[in-house]
Amino acid sequence: MDEDSYWTNIFKKKEKTEQDIYTVLSKIPIFRSLTNRELRAVERILHRRNYKPNETVFHENEPGMGMYIIASGKVYISAGVDNKVLAVLSNGDFFGEMALLLETPRTATAAAHEQTQLLGFFQPDLFSLLQTKPKTGNKILLHLAQMIAERLKHSTIENRHLKNKLTELETKKKPVKVR
Amino acid sequence: MEFTFSRFFKFIVALIIIIVTGWLLYQLSSIITVVIIAVLLAYILDPLTSSLESRGISRTLSTIIIFLLIGVVFLGLSGYFIPLLIDEINQIQRSIESGQSSQYFERLETFIQEKIPLISADDLDIHGRITKALAALTDSFFMVLGSVVSLVTTLVVIPFAVFFLLKDGPVMTKTLIGMVPNRYFEMALNILHKTDLQLGAYLRGQSIDAFIVGVLSITALWLLDVKYFIMIGIFAGFANLIPYVGPLVGGGAAVLVVLMNGGSGMDVMMVVGAFLLIQLIDNVIIQPLVVAKSVDMHPLVVIFAVIIGGQFFGILGMLLAVPVTGIVKVSVSELYKGIRRYNMI
């Protein structure tokens, strides 16, 4: 499959059928280890949005406010001028979680592939959770930090690997130049 | 785009809707005042509710606790202050009616006439003017409150509205946001969040500032042994909500009372000095600490807002004009910024 490694890394795809919303939530890494009561509190502040087939969730380069969790349906993640599909996500998957911490432009476009229900979790929701239910908010924040750290580790390793490759190529190239 | 009957029809319908909405707003202006006051109060109290909620208390219970606390404080204060306040008001009225104060005004008038011979006694009539102005002031104040069906209804409706705005505020915003179409949903959320952050800081800052200035004024006037110190102090605190003009009016009221009671030039100097000191403390220490700089408004905007507020809603309108203008300013600028960020214009 022609999918960007960055995205496949993040979204380990699993085959899922229609599931109870709490089961979906409890499998999301940032909501891991939340008690049932905390999950209910989180579920209450999530925004339920319904999308028609081919409806855009967000466009690339638009400012992002938070993440979406797929409750049902499928979402295409694409990027670039040619709208190259990077990943197809299905229920239980999530995307856009970087925007929870950093209000940066979206790095890709997300669009519903079929009738899709998404659960939105946004920066203001996270902030208000930190204020009103600090314990729950902190758990989520910690998991978010762990997830980002994990990804940073991957990038660092990949970066080092690429650097090594580059120096290897450069040393191979030099003798050619001398001749 | 060509001109068709249906477009014309739509235009007419839109026009009618705008006119009807405007007419309704005008007719309901008294209710709108109540709504504005309730929203402002709910905004100011929201952090208290959230902080109680963070201690594991449900939002409903938090709201009830806050209401009980406010009730206790209010009753306690009114037990002490209201008799004093009523006494003060009675005294003011008596001194105006008995003509006790008119002696001083006569002195003031002769003093002015000596210095500026061009002005005749009929032109001045300071006493008459001030009596009239005071009457108009109390009239307009009670008119605003009275026009909302009645004072009692207002006093019931405002706490009722504040209670539910506090308790269900987050749910209400979520429901409202839920109605926004998908395309504009995230943008709406973003704009609402930014506006909320700025407005909350601004309104809370303003109310804390007004409270501190009120307390400082009461203390200073009490130390200087000025009559009616509570009333003037409360007035000065509220007046401080209006930039530029407010402090002048607050200090002016105190000076007027000192003069009316036959105070000496030294007394006036002391009161003026105290108000200058309070303004200095306010501008140098309190404001930088509590008032959000993000809602800077141009002096001209402030003055016009106060005049327009006074035109429509009297004294109360003048007080509410500045925060309402702040709300409009922040909302419009955040809306504009949001739309720009999402490349819609």
pLDDT digits (tens, 9 = 90+) for B115-161: 666 655 566 666 666 666 666 655 555 554 455 456 667 778 888 88
Q: Is the per-residue pLDDT at B32 higher than 80?
A: no
Q: H or E element: which one contains B147?
A: helix B126-147
pLDDT at residue B180 in the model: 87
Residue B282 near residue B217 (C-beta atoms within 8 A): no
Q: What are the CB-based long-range contacts (under 8 Å, 24+) for B285-290?
A: B286/B208, B286/B209, B286/B212, B286/B213, B287/B209, B290/B204, B290/B205, B290/B208, B290/B209, B290/B212
Q: Is the per-residue pLDDT at B345 higher than 50?
A: yes
How far away is chain A from the Cα of B43, in angstroms, using its nearest Cα? 15
Pairing of the two strands A66-72 and A94-95: antiparallel
Q: How many CA atoms lie within 13 A of A157 on its CB side?
A: 6
Q: Chain B residue with minimal CA distance to A128?
A: B50
- A138 to chain B, any CB pair closer than 8 A? The answer is no
In chain A, pLDDT over 90 holds for what percent of residues? 8
How far apart are the C-alpha atoms of A38 and A57, rounded to whole Å?
Answer: 27
Q: Is A65 helix (H, G, I), strand (E, B) or coil?
A: coil
**What is the token pair recorded at A127?**
């902030």
Residue A92 Rama label (left phi>0; alpha psi -120 to 50; beta): left
Q: Chain B residue with minimal CA distance to A133?
A: B54
How far apart are the C-alpha atoms of B188 and B84, rounded to whole Å?
Answer: 49
Do the chains contact at B54 and A48, CB–CB below 8 Å?
A: no
**What is the token pair recorded at A37?**
């009561």
CA B29 vs. chain centroid, Å, equals: 16
Helices (H), chain A: 5-10, 21-27, 36-45, 123-132, 134-178
- What tens digit of pLDDT does each residue of B163-194 get? 898 888 888 888 888 888 888 888 888 888 88
pTM recorded for the entire structure: 0.69
- When CB atoms are compared, the residue of B50, B51, B189 closest to A65 is B189
How far away is chain A from the Cα of B167, in angstroms, using its nearest Cα? 13
How far apart are the C-alpha atoms of A123 and B186, rounded to whole Å?
Answer: 11
Instruction: Based on DSSP, count helices (H) and strands (E) in chain B, helices before strands.
Output: 13, 0
Q: What is the CA radius of gyration of chain A?
A: 19
pLDDT at residue A164 in the model: 93
Average pLDDT estimate for B306-332:
78
Query: Looking at beta carbons, which residues of chain A come within 8 Å of B185?
Result: 47, 49, 120
SS3 content of chain A, % helix, strand, coil (to 5): 45, 25, 30
Confidence of residue A27 (pLDDT cuts 50, 70, 90): confident
- When CB atoms are compared, the residue of B50, B183, B192 closest to A132 is B50
Range scoring the smallest mean pLDDT among A135-144, B45-54, B130-139, B275-284: B130-139
Q: Is the per-residue pLDDT at A17 higher than 50?
A: no
Q: Is the per-residue pLDDT at A52 higher than 70?
A: yes
How far apart are the C-alpha atoms of A160 and A149, rounded to whole Å?
Answer: 16
Closest alpha carbon to B309 in B295, B325, B329: B325
- When CB atoms are compared, the residue of A51, A58, A124 closest to B193 is A124
- A123 to chain B, any CB pair closer than 8 A? The answer is yes
pLDDT at residue B78 in the model: 73
Closest alpha carbon to A68 in A41, A45, A46, A44: A46
How far apart are the C-alpha atoms of A2 and A77, rounded to whole Å?
Answer: 13
Do the chains contact at B53 and A133, CB–CB below 8 Å?
A: yes
How far away is chain B from the Cα of A106, in angstroms, using its nearest Cα? 11
Q: Is the per-residue pLDDT at A162 higher than 80?
A: yes
Do the chains contact at B193 and A62, CB–CB below 8 Å?
A: no
pLDDT at residue B304 in the model: 82
In chain B, pLDDT over 70 holds for what percent of residues? 74
